[in-house]
A and B are shown apart, each in its own frame.
Chain A
Amino acid sequence: DAMVIQNPRYQVTQFGKPVTLSCSQTLNHNVMYWYQQKSSQAPKLLFHYYDKDFNNEADTPDNFQSRRPNTSFCFLDIRSPGLGDAAMYLCATSRDPGTSGGANEQFFGPGTRLTVL
């Protein structure tokens, strides 16, 4: 089945120690998104890639970076995790958000729950 895969499902890191979360997709979608979701809150978009074009949200801290080496994979790098970065990180994909119709539907992976000690 076509899907969005995230690894690892749970990640523990130390304060200030860089960490990388990964996302892969078999849907062959053009767009990949990274969301941060803190406890009892809605998901918040950090950034997205439309093909190779990177789009950062204005309020995303510089501590968060992303790489998309090919269509299938996208990585979230947290350069110096703080206690406030503990959250669920969700990856999503869509075919084309700029159109109407089903092409803009977003599909989410199972998430990576990050703990910062």
Chain B
Amino acid sequence: GIQVEQSPPDLILQEGANSTLRCNFSDSVNNLQWFHQNPWGQLINLFYIPSGTKQNGRLSATTVATERYSLLYISSSQTTDSGVYFCAVLTGANSKLTFGKGITLSVRP
């Protein structure tokens, strides 16, 4: 099956700093989603981005499908950005979202 790797596994930032989170995947995909899992466990949809670039406030994402990677950019980080960020992909072969292991982000005041 498809492999999804996220890096770095852990990230500590000072409030106001910028960061880039990476997701590599091993096969072509029909769907790539970025999620933020908050401290209460809810998975919040950040981006649906199988290709191209999108922006939403301080967050933006780019997926280069031909090179099989996606990047999530967080600018001017805030303490509320803390949590786990998951990248998940869906291939044409089945309905199953395959998740990476997640990136744990801690933003310190």
Query: Is there contact, CB below 8 Å, between A90 and B43?
Result: yes
Closest chain A CB from B105 CB (angstroms): 14
**Chain A contacts with B in 30-63, Cβ cutoff 8 A:** 31, 37, 41-43, 45, 48, 50, 55, 57
Closest chain B CB from A30 CB (angstroms): 11
**Chain B contacts with A in 93-107, Cβ cutoff 8 A:** 94-97, 99-102
Given that A42-B102, A100-B30, A105-B31 are contacting pairs, would A113 and B95 also be in contact in the complex, using a CB cutoff of 8 Å?
no
**Residue A82 at the B interface, CB < 8 A?**
no
**Residue A8 at the B interface, CB < 8 A?**
no
CA distance A55 to B35 in the complex (A): 24
Closest chain B CB from A18 CB (angstroms): 23
**Residue B33 at the A interface, CB < 8 A?**
yes
Classify chain B: how many residues form its interface, as a range: 20 to 34
Give every chain A residue within 8 A of B97 (Cβ-Cβ): 43, 45, 92, 106
Query: Is there contact, CB below 8 Å, between A98 and B95?
Result: yes
**Residue A108 at the B interface, CB < 8 A?**
yes
CA distance A41 to B90 in the complex (A): 19
Most A C-beta atoms less than 10 A away, residue of B43, B48, B50, B94: B43
Query: Is there contact, CB below 8 Å, between B48 and A110?
Result: no
**Residue B42 at the A interface, CB < 8 A?**
yes
Most B C-beta atoms less than 10 A away, residue of A50, A92, A98: A98
Give every chain A residue within 8 A of B31 (Cβ-Cβ): 97, 100, 104-106
Query: Is there contact, CB below 8 Å, between B102 and A102?
Result: no
Query: Which of B33, B35, B41, B45 is within 8 Å of A88, CB to CB?
Result: B41
Query: Is there contact, CB below 8 Å, between B86 and A42?
Result: yes
Query: Is there contact, CB below 8 Å, between A31 and B43?
Result: no
Q: Which residue of B lies closest to A94 (CB)?
A: B95
Give every chain A residue within 8 A of B30 (Cβ-Cβ): 99-100, 104
Binding site for A on B (CB under 8 A): 30-31, 33, 35, 40-43, 45, 48, 50, 86, 88, 90, 92, 94-97, 99-102
